[in-house]
Amino acid sequence: MSAAAPTSTAYRRRASRPAGSRLELWSWYYFRVSGVLLLLLAFGHLAIMHIVNNVDAIDYHFVAERWRTVGWRVYDWLLLFLALTHGQNGLRIIIDDYLHRAPWRAAAHTANWFLLALFLLLGTATIVTFQPPPAR
Amino acid sequence: MTAGPPEITLRIRRSEPGITRQRWESFGVPLADRTTVLDALFWIVRERDRSLAFRCACRAAMCGSCAMVVNGDERLACKTPLAALATPIRVEPLRSLPVIKDLVVDMDTFFDRYQAVEPVVRTDERLAEPAIISPVDPTRLEIGAGLDCISCGACYSACPMVAADPDYLGPAALLRAFNVLSDQREGPEAAEARVAVFGRHGIWRCHGIQECTRVCPKALDPALAIRRLKRRAWSGEFGS
Amino acid sequence: MRWRGREAYWAWLLHRLSGVGVMLFLFLHVLDTSLVLFGPEAYEMFVFLYRAPLFRVLEVGLAAAVLFHGLNGVRIIVIDFVAEAARIQRPLMYATWTAFLALFLPAAFFMLRPVFPALGLLR
């Protein structure tokens, strides 16, 4: 028995995700999710460091005091992680836009991942292992 | 002494790749009330230089043959009045396509992009009867908004991502892809067959620059079609 | 919707440039912050640098990049996910630029105020 002719409503209920690049799809979605979170975290960070405080006030003591509170370490690490992954995703897109020959693509993508890993590791190590001097 | 009709200067980019060097050539063309760029090109061929090469056919903005870059923007020469343009008027061939001679470009790559998206409806073989589609069905209206494409190549030429990525399918082919993928008469396998649309050189190379929509001589919106395709990729359905 | 202006093109270009710019700064920033692991002298060597008038002006540029990138990103999200937004793209662009100026100008003022004398902006 063959299928009946589809009507508009029958069509609308059909939900089949088309085949295609899953990486690009999730990257597109991740930009938006991470971007919204970054709006809060990054704007907040700018405000705290440059409006509420000032580079004049930011020194070792400032960082040590701030990172006594675990909450700020979590905040800063989330900002680090989201900013690096959001940005690395963007750089990946730029590489795909402009570099088309295989050796250049491979080299640029490798460098991109390497930079992400390096700075994520370095930043995480800083936030997690920093011990403020004992309070006097 | 009677003054002649007012004159306007056209600067045309001439070239025959492999034969002559690229050069700009200026022509003074008489300006009448509704002279178009195409009128001017015909006048130049008749009165000044029979070797000037350009394409045209209908002269009525229907066939898409005379698309070219006028003062930096993609236009149809037959419906671009000279009087409204800043002088001297720069006339160049479409971008991102190989130049054959002067204003004539090789459109093969452009039409290859259509082939890559399977631009015709693949009717679901399981359908025994004709599909019943209301003329005011929202999806049908969305498809209708994009059906007037005359394949002139203006959007393809204007898109910076086409310039950046030689394999990018481009706005015209993706607009057509949206039209056929939205069609209710297609079966679910149709999207599977058009993997290129949802791949690295398909919709994901579009960054919403909107040059395609800006220059389309038929006022179509390829950028919107591509956004809808992205939503389709995410949700599995078309929103409106 | 058609309009002759190239606002969307410039917005895309600025979005890309600001993104790359902030990323490059981020690499530098992770590096300079990691100096806290080596004690006050190491860390404050860099901070001292950032207090110089030139760097404070560059920081204003950074703030501009972050603010524009984020606000333009909101515009992109709205256009992507709100179907009706396709019809109001130009007002959305104006709103983005307005929000940018509303946030950036006060921020720039606060950031540059301490160095107004050094920049020759106060008697």
Taking an 8 Å Cβ-Cβ cutoff, which residues of chain A contact chain C?
31-32, 35-36, 38-39, 42-43, 46, 50-51, 54-56, 58-61, 63-64, 80, 83-84, 87-88, 90-91, 94, 115, 119, 122-123, 125-126, 129-130
CA pair distance B128, A101, nearest whole angstrom: 48
- Model confidence band, residue A8 (pLDDT cutoffs 50, 70, 90): very low
Position A27 pLDDT exceeds 50: yes
A30, amino acid identity: Y
- Model confidence band, residue A15 (pLDDT cutoffs 50, 70, 90): low
Position A36 pLDDT exceeds 90: yes
Contacts of A73 in chain C (CB under 8 A): none
The per-residue pLDDT for C53 is 85
Is A102 an 8 Å CB contact of chain B? Answer: no
Chains touching B (at least 3 CB pairs under 8 A) are A, C
3-state SS string for chain A? CCECCCCHHHHHHCCCCCCCCHHHHHHHHHHHHHHHHHHHHHHHHHHHHHHHCCCCCCCHHHHHHHCCCHHHHHHHHHHHHHHHHHHHHHHHHHHHHHCCCHHHHHHHHHHHHHHHHHHHHHHHHHHHHCCCCCCC
Domain extents in chain B: 7-105, 108-235
Contact C9 B230 (CB under 8 A): no
Contacts of A88 in chain C (CB under 8 A): 23
Contact B160 C4 (CB under 8 A): no
Please tell me the CATH code under which domain B7-105 is placed.
3.10.20.30
Domain extents in chain A: 31-129
Closest partner CB to A97 (pick from B133, B134, B164): B164
CA pair distance B84, C49, nearest whole angstrom: 55
Contacts of A28 in chain B (CB under 8 A): 204, 230, 234
The per-residue pLDDT for B232 is 86
Closest partner CB to C79 (pick from B208, B216, B221): B208
Model confidence over A42-52: pLDDT tens digits?
999 999 998 88
How far off is chain C from B158, nearest CA to CA, in Å? 11
SS3 label, residue B72: coil
CA pair distance C117, B155, nearest whole angstrom: 52
Is C83 an 8 Å CB contact of chain A? Answer: no
Q: Does domain A31-129 have CATH number 1.20.120?
A: no
Is B240 an 8 Å CB contact of chain C? Answer: yes
Q: Is residue C35 part of a domain?
A: yes
Closest partner CB to A7 (pick from B132, B200, B235): B132
Is C91 an 8 Å CB contact of chain A? Answer: no
Is C110 an 8 Å CB contact of chain A? Answer: yes
Contact C19 A123 (CB under 8 A): no
Q: List the single best residue of C14, C48, C69 to mutate versus A (max A Cβ within 10 A).
A: C69
The per-residue pLDDT for B32 is 86
**Residue B43, beta-bridge partner list:** none
The residue in chain B having the minimum alpha-carbon distance to the alpha carbon of residue C8 is: B209
Chains touching C (at least 3 CB pairs under 8 A) are A, B
B140, amino acid identity: R
- The 8-class DSSP code of residue B167 comes to T
Model confidence over C31-89: pLDDT tens digits?
999 999 998 999 988 888 888 888 888 999 999 999 999 999 999 999 998 888 888 99
Position C5 pLDDT exceeds 70: yes
Q: Is residue C56 part of a domain?
A: yes
Reference B62, options B148, B1, B2, B144; nearest CA is B148
Position A14 pLDDT exceeds 70: no
Question: Count of domains in chain C?
Answer: 1
Closest partner CB to B213 (pick from C2, C79, C83): C2
Contact C47 A58 (CB under 8 A): yes
Model confidence over C79-102: pLDDT tens digits?
998 888 888 999 999 999 999 999
**Can you give the CATH number for the domain in which C64 is found?**
1.20.1300.10
pTM of the shown model: 0.91
Instruction: Calculate mean pLDDT across residues A94-123.
Output: 97
Reference A97, options B201, C74, B182; nearest CA is B201
Contact B208 C6 (CB under 8 A): no
Is A55 an 8 Å CB contact of chain B? Answer: no
Instruction: Calculate mean pLDDT across residues A105-124.
Output: 97
Model confidence over B175-233: pLDDT tens digits?
999 999 998 888 877 878 899 999 999 999 999 999 999 999 999 999 999 999 998 88
Which segments in chain B show pLDDT lower than 50? Answer: 239-240
Reference C61, options C110, C108, C24, C10; nearest CA is C108
Reference B10, options B92, B102, B93, B88; nearest CA is B88
Enclosing domain of residue C88: 7-113
- pLDDT, chain A, mean: 87
Helix (H) or strand (E) holding C104: helix C89-112
Contacts of B188 in chain A (CB under 8 A): 14, 16
Model confidence over A78-106: pLDDT tens digits?
999 999 999 999 999 999 999 999 999 99
C19, amino acid identity: G
CA pair distance C70, A86, nearest whole angstrom: 12
Q: Could you give the C-alpha distances from B237 to B14, B135, B146, B183, C16, in angstroms and in order? A: 48, 20, 18, 12, 30
Please check whether residue B12 is in contact with residue B102, taking contact to mean a CB–CB distance below 8 angstroms. yes
Please check whether residue B70 is in contact with residue B89, taking contact to mean a CB–CB distance below 8 angstroms. yes
Contact C37 A129 (CB under 8 A): yes
Q: List the single best residue of A29, A36, A46, A48 to mutate versus C (max C Cβ within 10 A).
A: A46
Q: Does domain B108-235 have CATH number 1.10.1060.10?
A: yes
Closest partner CB to A8 (pick from B130, B137, B166): B137
Strands B104-105 and B20-30: unpaired
